[in-house]
Structure 1
Amino acid sequence: MATEIRLEGALLNRAINDYDISKIQSATNKSDVESLWGKITDWFCGTRKEEAKKALFDVIHNDNPDRKIECFNQLRDMVSPAYKDKFTYKITEVNDNLFTVNLLITDILSIENLSTTGKSIDITSAVSHSLDGVMNRGDFNLEQLKKDATRFTYTLNSKLYKHGFLTELELEKITVNMPKAQKKSLDVIASQTGVIAIKNGIHELGYGMSFVGTPELQSISISTKKDDVVKVELNLIQNHLNERFDIYKQSLPDAKYPCLSMKANIDIDNKGNYYIREIKVSHPGID
């Protein structure tokens, strides 16, 4: 997906023309962004102006999306308090730990469709106790899993079942030969019981990476292997508008990121033992 750069407004409301945009996009040195810098130079204290100008150049010109985001963060950190609200962003898409980001300096500049993996933290060992605490809720008749099959998107051995299209018959086909202990563990890990436990464990860790409100359970994947191991992959996302996120923060003030993605990979053996291969939480890298 191509990145789009738009420059907005000007001194005395004079619009930046196509030549100006072309010049900035093809810039080879810092002086080529002077026309844009002139619009915001008063937003920064004198001792930080040169540093801010360099960051602005990279926001516009650097080809690395992560570098653009890093410099956008720098500009927002350096700008005078009265102008901080002009630096905003929007996540337009979250898919498999990949974020599509729009950056905005109000009335000045917008950069759209930046694709980034953001920043991740591996919490595999830190939240295992959260799952331990709910494993006794499993039922070998898969009662919770059957309920969730009508609510969420599942993938069984690479076959996709959209919301509500996974039937008990299809579920029975891949679980019929599983031992009861394995089914009981699957009933927890591949259902909202396990997802909620992991979400609670993430919140207890801190880091500001709390899932708040009603996150979207993007998908649950179940794969059966020849070694009798069942592999489960969970994908959870949240992407709240700032206004909605501010409401949720009233009850969870430590929550820091409106947009988060979580991926968990967990194996279950034929004795019902589970092994967390990875649980990773990501955010788009904008503080």
Structure 2
Amino acid sequence: MWASYKKGFKAWLRLEKSLADHSVAAYLHDLDLLIQYLDISGTAPSPDNISPEQLQAFLRWIAELGMSQRSQARILSGLRSFYTYCLVEQITKTDPTALLEAPKLQRKLPDTLSYEEIEAIISAIDLSKPEGERNKAILETMYSCGLRVSEIVSLQISCLYLDSGFIRVIGKGNKERLVPIGEKAIRQLEIYLKLVRSYQIIKPGAEDIVFLNRRGQPLTRVMIFLVIKELAKKAGIQKSISPHTFRHSFATHLVEGGADLRAVQEMLGHESITTTEIYTHLDREFLRRTLHEFHPAFRSSI
């Protein structure tokens, strides 16, 4: 049903608005996000049956995926253009975006880093120190897999399937998920495990924890925060940086690159306004292909 509306909108943008191809593609991408959301949420209303509340829920949803406020505003602009087209072509009698407001976030999201900024932060690590190899492995893994800081400090050796290119992550509520991991992160993890961690004296109870401090104990979330803040300062990055910035960057780079939103949510283990039960089950190879196609860290490892 939506395919015909999308086709008509595309023609209208080109013929009536005389937009360039890249602008047309951007508007169609915004519409595709809405279509994917409606599919995931289990509803498929036609354009004239969508309520402002449904569109508001859609905006909250993309915010939870890590979209910057600028990206959210652009998407809203795209939806408004679509409904301008619908009114002109008498597909709808009203515009549900007329009174639509940007979502009010419960907390300010960290700034999103570009891939170049992430590389600059990682390059600022002093690899002449043992903790340097550990810190590089932490950051490569966080960005490659989109992990929460709580997930990185509790990551277990028994959950690493590096030969297969996956790690098992224990997320919120002890929910487990398998996430693909890129070759750069795999190489750095192997360096840390073989050349640093294997020589440490490990405290009882931490035998299966991947990342340890100098005393052989698990790292704290505060320690990860301090490491990242210091590296960002050394790299000359002025943005507000936290461990969660890497997770938001992971999601934003994938979604803005055109990745399927269901695959992104599967990899994040992200609770949204929609429940996890309605997500389409994705096989592991599809997740791996999605990362190799859309994630900069995976592309650069080839």
Q: Which range, TM-score by smaller chain? A: under 0.3
Structure with larger RCO (C-alpha < 8 A, sep 6+): 2
Q: TM-score, normalised by structure 1?
A: 0.23
Q: TM-score, normalised by structure 2?
A: 0.22
Structure with the larger helix share: 2
Q: Higher Cα Rg: structure 1 or 2?
A: 1
